[in-house]
Every structure is written in C-alpha cells, then in structure tokens.
Amino acid sequence: MVANLISSPPKYAKAIEVLLGGSAQHIVTDNTDTAKNVISWLFQEKIGRATFLPLDLIESYFSEIRDLKGHPGFVGYAATLVRVEKQYGNLPVYLFGNDLVVRTLDDAVGIKKKFRIRSRIATLSGEIVGSRGSITGGQSKIENSDSFLGRKMKLIEITSKRKEMLNSSQIQEKSLKRIDEESHVLRNHERLVESELTQVLAE
C-alpha cells in the first residue's frame, strides 16, 4: 500500500496527504502479472475492487518549472519531499509529478497566477489548488492524525521524541509512560490496516 511505502517530515504531512488523496490506499506490486492475478481473484470472489501500481508499468514524468525556486513561498516539489526505499524510486514522481508544496494559500494562488502551471499546489496546512484552478480547504472533525498517513507521520514524530527523552538526563517517568502508550496505540492502528491488506493478498 502506498501509505506504507512513503514517509516525509511531519511538517509536510498535511500537504503530502491531500495530494495523495485516495492513491494512499493504492497497492504497489513488483510487476503487472501480480496485479492481474490479484484483480482476477477479486473479480472471481466478488469481494471488492482495488487499484494497483505495477512498478514495471507505471509512467513517471517530472520537469522543474523555471524560476519557481526563487519564489519566497515555495517549499519544494512534493516528489522530492517524500522518502521511499530504493526499489520504489520512481513511485514519488508517478504519484506527484510536478505537484508543489508551498507555505500558504496566498502563496499557492500567487504561484498559480504567476506561472500559469497545470500542477496541483498544496499548502503546509492542507489546502490545495487544483491543476485547473479549483481550491479545496477547510477542517473536518476528523483530524489529520486519524488518517493512515497522518498516523504514520505522528508515529515517526513520537518515536523521535521518545528517543530524545531516553537520551536526556531528565527523563520524567510520567511523560515517558504517556509517550509509550500513544506509540502503542498508533502501532496498533497501523497493524490493523496492514492486517486487512494482508488478508486480501494472502488468498
């Protein structure tokens, strides 16, 4: 699953997640045959549909936009702000192409108007300007941390914080216990999603 394979610094998590959208749940396979076999099984069993990304078939295209890096609101190209293992090297560019991450919605609108680009533009707070000019934003009652990628980014942040505390000479038992409990809950959430995917692919 895409969300299992990519990671990024927590400060970019909202932007990356809105750009991913439903593709966070897409399933990456080594080759086309594997994808075809699983699709055939899903069809025969009539238990649902899924989207697969065969690494030997997906196409990736990336081209930097001239003079964009000099814009003060520009953070980076989304494809360069995420990390994947070497064997999935072309996955970020497939997922994001030339999509951008910028600081604010004003930056997104300004860049869209100035450069007339067809890429999607996401802000650090999670707004997104579509390739044809639509603007999506707001806040639901479900926080970012409830989503799969959000939980993953939160887990990375918590794990890092815990390591810092363990290396500190001023460890407070109560704080460490709270962090352990939160890390445990987040790991359980990830294992649940991974278990559901494993059940589908194990047949």
pTM for this entry: 0.71
pLDDT of residue 74: 95
pLDDT in tens, 21-54: 888 889 999 999 999 999 999 888 888 899 999 9
- Class of the CATH-defined domain 2-202: alpha beta
Please give the pLDDT value at position 176: 65
- Tally Cβ neighbours within 10 Å of residue 151: 20
Q: DSSP secondary structure string, 154-189? A: HHHHHHHHHHHHHTSS---HHHHHHHHHHHHHHHHH
Name the 3-class secondary structure at 16. Answer: helix
Domain coordinates in residue numbering, the chain: 2-202
Closest CA to 160 of 37, 42, 11, 2: 11
Structural contact between residues 41 and 64, judged by C-beta atoms closer than 8 angstroms = no
Looking at residue 1, its pLDDT comes to 84
Low-confidence residues of the chain: pLDDT under 50: 144-145, 200-203
